[in-house]
């Protein structure tokens, strides 16, 4: 059996355009979903809190977030009582920068 080691980004492995951004959005959506469940909140209630429609929240939670910006997703986290910190630091010498989420 041949085993192929992934890059750590399934979107990149599948050749999806903007793979790094898609991974960040997936990580943000997963955190938003976990918080909605923790608060025992309906999608309709979350939509009202986020200033979005319920179908848009549903799509985001299903991984369909191409039309939702990272900024909007971070604002959703703020609405759920989370602190969001953006840290900018130098990449390792000779390497390109990396976009990531730590939650």
Report the half-sphere exposure of 72 (CA within 13 A, side-chain side).
Answer: 14
pLDDT digits (tens, 9 = 90+) for 6-64: 888 888 899 998 888 999 999 999 999 999 999 999 999 999 999 999 999 999 999 99
- Check: CB of residue 26 under 8 Å from CB of residue 33: no
pLDDT of residue 103: 74
- The SS3 assignment for 27 reads helix
Q: Give this prediction's pTM.
A: 0.85
Confidence of residue 81 (pLDDT cuts 50, 70, 90): very high
pLDDT of residue 74: 95
Confidence of residue 66 (pLDDT cuts 50, 70, 90): confident
Q: 10-79: what CATH class?
A: mainly alpha
Contacts with 74 (C-beta within 8 Å, 6 or more apart), sequence order:
28, 84
């Amino acid at each position: 059996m041949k085993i192929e080691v992934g890059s750590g980004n399934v979107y990149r492995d599948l050749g999806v355009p903007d793979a790094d951004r898609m991974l960040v959005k997936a990580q943000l959506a997963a955190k938003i979903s976990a918080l909605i469940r923790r608060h025992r909140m309906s999608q309709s209630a979350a939509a009202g809190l986020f200033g979005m429609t319920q179908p848009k929240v549903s799509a985001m939670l299903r991984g369909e977030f191409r039309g939702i910006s990272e900024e909007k997703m971070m604002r959703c986290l703020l609405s759920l009582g989370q602190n969001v910190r953006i840290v900018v630091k130098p990449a390792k010498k000779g390497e390109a920068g990396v976009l990531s989420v730590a939650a």
